[in-house]
Amino acid sequence: MRRATLTRSTAETQITAAINLDGTGRYQMDTGIGFFNHMLDQLARHSLIDMDVSAKGDLHIDDHHTVEDCGIVLGQALTQALGDKRGIRRYGSCLLPMDDTLVRVALDLSARPYLAWNLALPTQKIGTFDTELVREFFQAFSTHGGITLHVDLLRGDNSHHIAEAAFKALARALREAVETDPRKTDAVPSTKGTL
Query: For the residues 128-153, what does the mean pLDDT come to?
Result: 98
Cα gap 65→35, rounded to integer Å: 15
Task: Annotate the chain with three-state secondary structure.
Answer: CCEEEEEEECCCEEEEEEEECCCCCCEEEECCCHHHHHHHHHHHHHHCCEEEEEEEECCCCCCHHHHHHHHHHHHHHHHHHHCCCCCECCEEEEEEEECCEEEEEEEECCCCCEEEEECCCCCCEECCEECHHHHHHHHHHHHHHCCEEEEEEEECCCHHHHHHHHHHHHHHHHHHHHCECCCCCCCCCCCCCCC
Residue 93 has pLDDT above 90, yes or no: yes
Residue 39 has pLDDT above 90, yes or no: yes
Cα gap 34→125, rounded to integer Å: 13
pTM to 2 decimal places: 0.98
Cα gap 102→96, rounded to integer Å: 6
Strands 91-98 and 125-126: unpaired
For the chain, give the percent of residues with pLDDT over 90: 98
Residue 108 has pLDDT above 90, yes or no: yes
Residue 1 has pLDDT above 90, yes or no: no
Mean pLDDT, the chain, rounded, equals: 97
The CATH class of the 3-178 domain is alpha beta
Query: For the residues 115-133, what does the mean pLDDT come to?
Result: 98
Between 16 and 185, the more confident residue is 16
Query: For the residues 20-25, what does the mean pLDDT come to?
Result: 98
pLDDT in tens, 154-194: 999 999 999 999 999 999 999 999 999 999 999 999 999 99
